[in-house]
Amino acid sequence: MQFLYLAPVGMAQCASDGTVLLINPKAAQLLLPLTRGDNLHNLFDVLQPVLPQLRDLVVAFEAPVGMVCEALRFRLDVGRPGAGHAQVLAAWVVKHDADRFMVVVSDATIEERREQTALARSLWDASRRDALTQMPNRAALGAFLQELLDRRASPDGGRFAVIFMNCDRFKQINDSFGHALGDQVLGMVAGRLRAALRPYDKVAAGEPDHQMAARLGGDEFAVVLAHLRDEENAHALAQRLLDLMAKPYGVSNLQLHNTVSMGMVLGSQAHGDADAVLQDASIAMVLAKRAGGGRCVVFEPGMRERAALRGQLESELRTAIAGQQLFLVYQPIVGLAQPGHGHADGGRYAGVEALVRWQHPTRGLVSPVDFIGLAEESGLIIPLGGFVLEQACRQFAQWQRDLGGLAPRQLSVNLSRAQLHQGGFAAQVQALLAQYQLDPSTLQLEVTESLAAQDDAIQTRLQQIKQLGVRLALDDFGTGYSSLSSLHLLPVDTVKLDRSFISLADTSQHHRVLIDATVRVARSLGMQTVAEGVETRAQEAVLRELGCDKGQGYLYARPLGPDDLVRWLAQP
């Protein structure tokens, strides 16, 4: 009995109906805050506000003896709002026999707070750690970077760098092999990034150090380097990362290639908060990607303004596509088989290439150089390309109705990578042919040399187009000389020689030989050839001599509006 009164935990023996038979001072001390008028006669009544299930647990326990429940926690803040941190108790109930049970009560406040602190720390870490790679995430990197920005006034506060990375071919890997394999590649990228930063990197979220690597999301990563001795340290690391990331990735018996594009912000150019600095690094990364990828571009303040203007232009282009600001012009393609350009030899009847133009309400005529690349990057090339193809088919059908034998014989329209990745693109082409009652052989769709040699999905789409009877042309051919040997592998009917060849056709024996070889190989494969960018009679003479089938360029006509083209066709 003395032990009951001296025990450091609360103990109470009760009858089966909850009547308290014995209770020690510690139990009374812990439970009194729950009572009214210090009434501890019935434990079920005392604990009803905090453990209402206790009575049912005891009644339902059928075994003659044993543990009814253990470590049931409850708070002592009943009726005491605003009392601060509430005391937490834990209760164990043991059945002695059919008529009695023992309740043990202890103070679990410290243990509860410790568990809550550990949980909060765990949640904090999880909120700042990327689940796939176990690297810090954008939130962790942003906090680390903001600390550096806040210390810029210190002697070495400005000697830091931020590198923003994006994988160059990750979308193709995902599309070709699936997201599960893509996730494996991202894990390998993270591993290489960690290895490149060792032995000094401590990438745990919230742990201060001289550098941190993080996954920002998708295939984007970033590195923050603090306390640099000089800027060359940052450039050296960037080059090391470029070299490391460019090595093949061995995944599932495959050797995958995936370079990265990087944008770097040096501390001396850092402006604004952490989000603003990351945005600047992202701007530089986009420029690296536009330059071909696999390189690092250092941010300069002027890039921010140009990016803002580009963003504004993208918004305006969306409006232009939805409105009436876009229009088409048509550049003639003439026959070169016989001398002269009159109707007798059919030179003017060869065809036209449809080209899109943008008449901006305030900027005036916007060059395609300024908006075609923007459309491809933003995804607007899909509606833009659809507009061009539909409008060109409509105009071509009208010429055939109105001009008869004077009408151009063939319509050429450029295709983008995004259009060819559309699953239903061939069906769209077929629907347009039917809508405007066009002979499929009069439509020629042009793809670039690099696009025609793409993956199986592109090859399948090109074959679907050919099965419609539509002709395919290889645009800008010759930018890669080695492709001549693989020309027979490409499903095209026409080869368009790049203007860089034609500009030197009459002055460079080397270019003359290349043109001659291309024409001969194309002819042996049953393909026609078109020379782009013909500007002089001397160039034309060489092309005729070498047997090139058609020519296109300012020597014959600049791109013309529909009415101007009709007048050009009518010239003798």
* Domain boundary pick from 77, 112, 147: 112
Instruction: Return the pLDDT at 208.
Output: 44
Instruction: Note if the bond before 199 is cis, omega within 30 degrees.
Output: yes
Beta bridge partners of 474: 447, 495
* Domain boundary pick from 112, 139, 155: 112
CATH of the domain at 7: 3.30.450.20
Helix H, strand E, coil C: the string for 449-503 is HHHHCCCHHHHHHHHHHHHCCCEEEEEEECCCHHHHHHHHHCCCCEEEECHHHHC
Count of alpha carbons within 13 angstroms of residue 489, beta-carbon side: 13
Instruction: Give CA–CA dist 406/329, Å, rounded.
Output: 18
> For residue 101, what is the enclosing H or E element?
strand 100-107
CA 459 to chain centre: 24
Please say whether the beta carbons of 99 and 16 come within 8 A. yes
Beta bridge partners of 333: 351
Residues of the chain falling short of pLDDT 70: 1-5, 78-85, 126, 153-158, 198-209, 338-349, 450, 452-455, 478-483
CATH of the domain at 367: 3.20.20.450
Q: pLDDT, tens digit, for every residue of 426-454?
A: 999 999 999 999 999 999 999 887 676 66
Model-wide pTM > 0.85: no
| Domain contains 499 | yes
Does residue 340 share a domain with residue 198?
no
Is residue 265 helix, strand or coil? Answer: strand
| Domain contains 48 | yes
| Domain contains 358 | yes
| Domain contains 304 | no
Instruction: Return the pLDDT at 209.
Output: 57
Does residue 480 share a domain with residue 353?
yes
Does residue 34 share a domain with residue 144?
no
Does residue 280 share a domain with residue 146?
yes
Does residue 378 share a domain with residue 278?
no
Assign 3-state DSSP to the chain and report helix, strand, coil percentages, each to 5.
Answer: 45, 25, 30
Does residue 524 share a domain with residue 394?
yes
Q: Structural domain of residue 53, as residue ranges?
A: 2-112
| Domain contains 167 | yes
Alpha carbon distances (Å) from 447 to 1, 64, 112? 96, 86, 67
Instruction: Return the pLDDT at 279.
Output: 95
How many separate domains does the chain show?
3
Instruction: Return the pLDDT at 155.
Output: 64
* Domain boundary pick from 266, 284, 299: 299
| Domain contains 117 | no
Cβ neighbour number for residue 123 with a 10 Å cutoff: 10
Instruction: Give CA–CA dist 254/251, Å, rounded.
Output: 5
Instruction: Give CA–CA dist 234/68, Å, rounded.
Output: 65
Does residue 457 share a domain with residue 522?
yes
| Domain contains 352 | yes
Does residue 379 share a domain with residue 247?
no
Does residue 150 share a domain with residue 75?
no
Does residue 204 share a domain with residue 243?
yes
> For residue 359, what is the enclosing H or E element?
strand 351-360
Instruction: Return the pLDDT at 83.
Output: 46
Instruction: Give CA–CA dist 285/168, Å, rounded.
Output: 11
Alpha carbon distances (Å) from 231 to 265, 268, 298? 11, 10, 11
| Domain contains 121 | no
Does residue 101 share a domain with residue 184?
no
Does residue 70 share a domain with residue 28?
yes
Instruction: Return the pLDDT at 157.
Output: 60
Q: Classify residue 319 as left (phi > 0), alpha (psi -120 to 50) or beta.
A: alpha
